[in-house]
Amino acid sequence: MPFGIGWPELTIILVIVLVIFGASRVPEVGGAIGRGIREFRKSVNTDESIEKEKESTEVSAKKKKD
């Protein structure tokens, strides 16, 4: 498990989440967290692809000058 979290710790976290949000809201909270992670990954990948495009454009521009 990442960060050294085992099954006992995950069970305790799940129980705390159930107490705080209630059983009916847990799927909503999980979906919101999933959408947030998905949007974050999408923005990171977009930023990386923009940087790669800039680098390739600069390289091709330098080749044309030579």
**Average pLDDT of the segment spanning 4-23:** 89
24 phi, psi to nearest 5 deg = -75, -25
Mean per-residue pLDDT, 57-65: 68
Whether 17 contacts 26, CB under 8 Å: yes
Span 19-53, pLDDT tens digits = 998 888 988 988 999 999 999 988 888 777 777 77
Is residue 63 pLDDT above 70, yes or no? no
Distance CA 29, CA 16 (A): 13
pLDDT band at 12 (very low <50, low <70, confident <90, very high): very high
Please list, residue by residue across 3-12, b when 16 or more beta carbons sit within 10 angstroms of its beta carbon and e when fewer do: eeeeeeeeee
Q: pTM surpassing 0.75?
A: no
Please check whether residue 64 is in contact with residue 57, taking contact to mean a CB–CB distance below 8 angstroms.
Answer: no
